[in-house]
Chain A
Amino acid sequence: MTSVPGIVAVVVVALATLAIGTWGLRVSRTTSDFLVASRSVGPRLNASAIGGEYLSAASFLGVAGLVLTFGADMLWYPIGWTAGYLVLLVLVAAPLRRSGAYTLPDFAEARFGSRHVRSVCSVLVVAIGLLYLYPQFQGAGLTLRSAVGAPTWVGPVIVGAVVLANVTSGGMRSITFVQAFQYWLKLWALLLPAAVLVAVWFSDGRPGAASSLAGAPVGDWSAPLASGGGQGLYVTYSLIVATFLGTMGLPHVVVRFYTNPDGRAARRTTLVVLALLGLFYLLPPVYGALGRAYAAELAAAGRSDVLVLELPRLMVPGLLGDALTGLVTAGAFAAFLSTSSGLCIAVAGVLSQDVTGRPWRGRRLAGVTAFRLGAVVAVVVPTLMALAAPHVGVARAVGLAFAVAASTFCPLLLLGIWWRGLTAAGAVAGLAVGGLGSGAAVLATLTAAAPAGWPSVLLEQPAAWSVPLAFATMVGVSLATRSRVPAHAGRFMVRLHTPEALDLDRG
């Protein structure tokens, strides 16, 4: 009975998640506990929560699969996903918190005082959210197929239903404790099996990579003159640009920073996030490396994304292997549950505010109904995409979402925070150019329409050209419309960049 540990793990994770969400904050308190009750979320707890929401199926399953198939080149993915927070820490975290914005469209509205920029941002948030959600659902399909042996379409449908039920009933609000729990669950779910597997690898006499993989070329990414090396180098740079700059544009990451009481706490939180992610990302490459020795046939069969789930069973037969499989399945389930719930809430929130909550033919939906309608859209669309779109690999699909975020919100945030001269017209033009450019690239990749060679490479990894293009457009159009710099830009800058402790009229 190979499916038992998987089912048990999935049920346990779901129940534990719901239980913490339900009872975590229902502790009654008296006045003497008032200070405890009204204490804000500390940086460590908040950072765990960010980690919990951020580490998706791409991190949990995808990285190991990429390393298995393509080797060490693919370590750029986890490095970039971590380093994104470094950029966030240095340039964005504190000013963004001080702006008082809850979502990215909020920031745009506060910065430019314009409903138009807000609408454009809302469209982009929804697009990025959906693009990020669909590989989560595909990953869920893989997890359930591997754990229970269900057909691939069952996973997205069932998981979509679970997330939808959770989000619309209010049981899975992005409560900090739940998300923090998910991070530590994911960490231990990878750490413990990894320790056992490494021990097994030692006792097996430390075998090297299987012969079918040993001949894979290594070093293309750093050698522009090797055959195909130009493309390899381009891909690497593009990946770095997308992941380093894309993190700040992910809708579910930004909303978490609102929980920090001030800019300083936002920086401290980001610092802890860096440490937590650095710790976590040590583990998937271990699975990838072990997989090259023990599970080469998965790469040959094109099922490298399930490596993390299958490896314990392949290396350790018997009860221990089943138990470890249950553990990694629980981690994978937590990974897509937390990320897709967070994304679903973020997308549904924007939809309910700017689409479903708008008056339509003189009638208006109530807040809760509008939110639920938004949630339905945020779940059904990526579910259908997961069923219809080709499987491009969980990590690669998430990489596309990063590329779109880097080409749109990164210039908006960086220029909006650090350059007084950005105008609403410049912002809209830059968002449009970056969004359309990277969006077209995503479409071409998902439909596999691009011809092979350089066009295909340029479209698969658009960030290296679309991000500079978006920056240039924003700066250029802003300079052309210099007379229309928002009147309050100077004062807004003061509010973004002065520490809260400074006594100052921020008007």
Chain B
Amino acid sequence: MVRAWRRTHLGSEADRATFRALHSASLASPALREGLTTGSAERSIRHLRALLGTPALAITDTAGLLAWDGTGQHHEDQVPALVAATLERGGTRGFDRADLPCQEAGCPLRTAVVSTLVVEERVVGTLQAFAPYPTAGLARANDEVAQWVSGQLELAELDASRTRLMEAEVRALRAQISPHFIYNSLGAIASFVRTDPDRARDLLLEFADFTRYSFRRHGDFTTLAEELRSVERYLLLEQARFGDRLQLTLGIAPEVLPVAVPFLCIQPLVENAVRHGLESAEGVGHIRITAHDRGQECVIEVEDDGVGEDPEKVRRALAGDASSDSVGLGNVDARLRNAFGDDFGLVVETAPGAGTKVVVRVPKFAPGVHP
């Protein structure tokens, strides 16, 4: 009765072996996805040995041992020699008694199979399986497992490079205070130097504070209050240039000011709004910035009544098309998603001639996010 149930529900013996192997692999993979370190090797090696069924298994980098699992720890000293011998030739290599001298009677580690771990065509380490007898099956299995581990490590590399790219983009965005803005601001300030020296001085100080905030080095997050202060400075400088052509409406719920937001996530949106609302259209441009309290999250809206944009173009900008002139949008969207998850991407409502409204949703709390 029990046997019948097990057979129908868990499949044949071969099926179950497959399931076990897949399960071991799935247990090993989260650690390996962090890259090849002592920590990740120690956490994954138990599952990898279960997969291979050998009495002992070692993971190394190109210099020496990272982790050892199983019996015969006295062989650990010989590991670097095996690494060196394998790195000379690459691929998978077998070693016998002559390479593993052993004084202990009954030690089951008489032979070894060593396969290289390769990430992006570069050898980063080895996987060493130890067994009493050399078998072709073990060589094959070790080779396959090493290839699978290499694949996981390559994925880890991909994650890391994605994070690096994101960091580089933030740095780029900081450096990307548009040259036009600097030129225009200094020009506007210069025009006040003779007529209104006090205002010129104030504006210069605002300019100094604005650049200091934008070039700030530490921390990926800031509070909404800080971010809005920078927006304020930016708008003051723009108003010096546009005068009454730039009309501003604000509605900010004080409850949401302490919320942690990604550094420089509102300012690019306001810059876009000024550009679309004013620079390309004659007459007065209205910009509206609101922040609402919505219980668990806060909703920030930046709205202009300018020329608007083709929704398809915005979609491409959000998808990361660098040729668009709304580079800031795509960057802000990517960083919001990265910090808070895909539920919290930018929402852009726009159409040609109908103005643009950008909506940012930020949760009040997200693990690991603090200013």
Contacts and interface: CB of A to CB of B under 8 A. Distances in A.
Interface stretch (B5-13, B99-107, B193-201, B224-232): B224-232
Contacts of B275: none
B232 A38 contact: yes
Secondary structure type dominating chain A contacts: loop
B179 interface: no
A29 B295 contact: no
A34 B232 contact: yes
A260 B257 CA distance: 9
B96 interface: no
B296 interface: yes
Contact of B367 (A110, A348, A349, A353): A110
Interface in A28-66: 28-31, 33-35, 37-41
A173 B294 contact: yes
- In this complex, the member of A31, A261, A506 whose beta carbon has the largest number of chain B beta carbons within 10 angstroms is A31
A70 B296 CA distance: 42
A38 B365 contact: no
B23 interface: no
Nearest to B235: A31
A371 B252 CA distance: 23
B296 A38 contact: no
A495 interface: yes
B225 A261 contact: yes
Contacts of A27: 251
Contacts of A349: 295-296
Contacts, number: 95
A356 interface: no
Interface string A165-194: 000000001111000000000000000000
A152 interface: no
A34 B252 CA distance: 9
Contacts of B369: 100
Interface in B157-182: none
A374 to B, nearest CB: 10
B257 A261 contact: yes
B293 interface: yes
Secondary structure type dominating chain B contacts: mixed
A259 interface: yes
Nearest to A346: B295
B251 A113 contact: no
Interface stretch (A101-109, A208-216, A274-282, A395-403): A101-109
A26 B365 CA distance: 26
A35 to B, nearest CB: 7
A367 B293 CA distance: 14
Interface string A332-357: 00000000000001001100110000
A134 B314 CA distance: 49
A353 B258 contact: no
Contact of B239 (A29, A31, A40, A260): A31
Contact of A39 (B251, B254, B255, B260): B254
Given A101-B365, A109-B367, A173-B294, A31 B253 contact: no
A353 B311 CA distance: 31
Given A34-B235, A352-B296, A371-B295, A29 B258 contact: no
Contact of A34 (B247, B250, B297): B250
Interface string A463-507: 000000000000000000000000000000001000000000110
B248 interface: yes
Contacts of B254: 39-41, 176, 259
B114 to A, nearest CB: 33
Contacts of B293: 173-175
Contacts of A113: 367
Contacts of A506: 370
Nearest to B224: A38
A394 B68 CA distance: 64
Given A40-B257, A260-B258, A261-B258, A26 B232 contact: no
A25 interface: yes
B323 interface: no
Nearest to B246: A31
A29 to B, nearest CB: 5
Given A38-B225, A39-B254, A371-B295, A258 B364 contact: yes
Contacts of B260: 100
A55 B77 CA distance: 71
10 contacts: A30-B248, A31-B250, A37-B250, A41-B257, A102-B296, A106-B365, A175-B253, A259-B258, A352-B296, A367-B297
Interface of B: 218, 223, 225, 228-229, 232, 235-236, 239, 247-255, 257-258, 260, 293-297, 343, 364-365, 367, 369-370
Given A28-B249, A40-B225, A41-B257, 15 more contacts: A26-B251, A28-B250, A30-B248, A38-B225, A38-B228, A38-B250, A41-B254, A100-B365, A173-B294, A174-B295, A176-B254, A258-B258, A260-B258, A261-B257, A349-B296
Closest 5 CB pairs of A and B: A102-B364, A106-B365, A102-B365, A34-B232, A100-B370
